[in-house]
Chain A
Amino acid sequence: MTTLTAPRSSVELAANRKSIHPGRVMVWTLLFIGGVIMVTPLLFMFSTSLKSAGQVYDLRLIPAAPTLDNYVKVLSDGRFMRWFFNSTFVALCVTLSNVFFDSLVGYTLAKFDFRGRYLVFIAILSTLMIPTEMLVIPWYLMSAQFGWIDTYWGIMFPGMMTAFGTFLMKQFFESVPDDFLEAARVDGLNEFTIWWRIAMPMVVPAISALAIFTFLGNWTAFFWPLIVTNSRELYTLPVGLSSFAVEQSIQWEMIMTGAALATIPTLLVFLVLQRFIVRGVMLAGLKG
């Protein structure tokens, strides 16, 4: 983090240290207050999840008598663990598929010269214009015909490849020098091996950005999983949480516990991978 924001020169650094501008202090304070407001919903969610039913009306942030009872209760029947597994499994499979196919297609479009290349590229790119919501009815029909409703494959299949990922990977493969690929060709490697062994390792930052985006997007996805799953065992975490919250009605401490359980995994991953994630978002945003 510090490397990203390092002062441009040591002179500037010295100047910064000496003059603590009142204006700057105010800007910092306002930004800090704004940041605290941003995380307030999260803080109150965790705080309430640690309160017993009787304490919910006490709106103080720090619980008077914190307890993990709600977590024990919510986790005891194993539903949340199941939904957690479903979300993770689905997101993982979709991410692997995207990393493989989006890269393969992006690479082919960037590094192979053949008639129809431009047409394929435009055709794939044009799918960005089609909203998911327009496709869910035909997907539902397709799933009903092939028996994919209420299966993992049913949740996964629409996202196995994305135009966004393909475009992102194509942009990055274009900056891989042809010399490396030619050298490998001279060495007699086949095209698949060249892509997998030579080109892929050169675009690892792009792959990690794509992987983070795809995983997060699918882990938190709500609309399609809500449609394609009927049985509780197949719910993903967001869909399961929603049904759980409706069922709990006004037991807000239980709902907040469920919401916290749905939030903790992504926050933990963020704390570990903060720098990669911020860089990945920047990378994808700039190229896309």
Chain B
Amino acid sequence: MQLDPELLQDFLTESGELLDQLDVDLVTLEGSPEDPELLNKIFRALHTIKGSASFMALTNLVKIAHAAESALNAARNRVVVVGRGEMDLLLQAVDVIKTQFDDLRAARDLTAPDENLVLALAAIGEGKPAPSVQVPVRSAAAESKTAADAPAAKAPSVPAQPAAASPAAPATGSPFDLGSPAPAPLKLPSSKMDLLEFLVSDLDDSLRQVEQQVARLGEAAQRQSAAEALADLTEALKRSAEFFDCEPMGKIATLLDDLAEAAPKLPERTMARALSPAMSAVEALKQQSKALAAKTTLNHPLERFTEAFHALLAETAAMGTPAPESIPAGEQTTSASPSPAPSPSAAPAAMSPGKSAEKSEAHPAAGADHTIRVEVTRLETLLNLVGELVLQKNRLSALTRQIGQQQLGTQEFREHITTASGGLDRVTSDLQLAVMRTRMQPLDKLFGKYPRLIRDLARKLNKQINLVIEGGETEVDKSVIEELGDPLVHLMRNSADHGIEPPEQRQAAGKPEMGTIRLSASHKGSHVQIVIQDDGRGIDKDRIARKAIEKGLYTEAQIATMSEKEIQRIIFAAGFSTAEQISDVSGRGVGMDVVRANIEKVKGTIDLTSVHGQGTTITITIPLTVAILSAMMVGIGPETYAIPLGSILEIVRPTPEQRSSIRQAAVMRLRDTVLPLLSGGELFAQPEGMKADAPFAVVLHQQDQRVGLLVTSLIGQQEVVIKPLDESVDKGGPVSGATVREDGGVSLIVDVPRLFSIAQSRARA
């Protein structure tokens, strides 16, 4: 496949976004199938995709997009109502397009759409509802967009255009010369204005076909079918004209209609003579279409033309004689010439090459000028550089402090350098924030996929599920979004599959048949909290306990000492899945532990509460960014470590009375609780003899577990830039990532989840 790679990339990104949105919108549409705005939005998105695809000659893509578009058009025109059957077909079409996008990315030939799907969609387009109930067939020309309901409330909402609506000088010379009149502003209510862009592009499609059919009229053998096709097309044109409130267009369309009607009976010679004016008429329509695209209309002087044209057509009836076969060859060729390459494109299914793509791109949302696409790698470089800058700034601040402490230089010098350093401090912080912002994306990017997911699942599982999404506008770092994708899909599936019960069961339990999954996101300080809540069957603690014992994860005695919450949390343990049968929905046994691992990878936490019979709530807390961390710097032996501030509950200096040991494990009494104490020196494998004195206990928490980490010294709170640790050194120790200190040295970042799991495995051993 030879495609300009850059063009292809643009297409994939832009149309890819539209495609994602399509899924969301279609599912929304299912709930309100007659929402005209939504229908229009979906239609427009499909149309844009189709346009760009045809520009790149992606025939298979155009084919399916076109079919789906026709179906939607019928819905827009209230010819059909989008019910479940129709929706399935439309969603299938979107899936086909997605597959084709994958093909494009992999530089494969495009998958051809299933012919039956195309036909089924086309049938909807012709006004037949999905489960083939025959309904009066509407011509395929319904393709040319005509919102039949034209209330024509003329609001003068028109951009200031050259108002010179010159009624055009009366044409001299041939009555068939329509000239090129000056454009007059188009008067349309703004709701219609919005539709202009794609209506015009479809008008262009129709006109190209009109042109072809007019040319075919010249050939006796094809005249009959051409006339029929033309009649259909002109019918649609007339409706468009009505919609645009464009009288001249309607008149010309009527003329062409007359021609179509008269053509089969016209003597050959007259027919030949009629072709040229007919082409002029088409030409005039094309001008009109261009004018409409620019929100103006052309007022062609039609009186003489109409008169002469009608006279021409009437001539036949009067003469009534089949004319001799003497066609002035020259005349015919000229008349047919404006339609080159009469590509016998299958019926009126327009595969608009090029033009429509340009047209639809020509009026993108006004906001387009305010955004540019930037490669992610560039942003990453920028972020790294800012990280470096922060480090250098920190060094400079340290030096400045030193200058102050040691009274170096003159008083004036010290003041200046302090001011300069402070200024740099502020600017760097702002810069850092600004760069981080460029990487932020709304969670909607992820959430947008779930309505479709849940809808499909609900149908597959025969359940009724209402998905409520809140706070999708909450923004988090791009890398976090990427890491969250899989876990969230998994959790949503779990809720739909294991959580929500079938309607009968729900009814029996006195719940509404329709289950609800609520997905919400909100800011919590420097973190974002995502909550997935369902009103399903909840987690059966006893079943979890049984399974855990069966699988040898815990002994019965251990289970006996565990709280309900602790037992519920076993589902996060590796290799645990309660799915009795493996379905293709969820329950492959790699479930929740993978989810947890993914969340922890972005320094997030996951927690779960569930009430048996009433539902489950899963709370995910993730940092806004993975690049910068608020940390407490502590000294353990000779090394400095950074502990994520979010994991620290408090820092205490335990008295000897508070410290004791239970079964040789060090513990600390803190107010009325007892928590295990971990020696930092031991945990972080400091060389022997460095264990020394560790007077401070940093109380860390994970979910509702707590532990005290003994450290040698407290250094202070800092924003640190997280740098990845090479895999060759990161072997599961209680650290993940490193940061560069002000002095250029490296400090490791404590991985709290790992620390807890190490602590737990020790406690069990």
Determine if chain A interacts with chain B: no
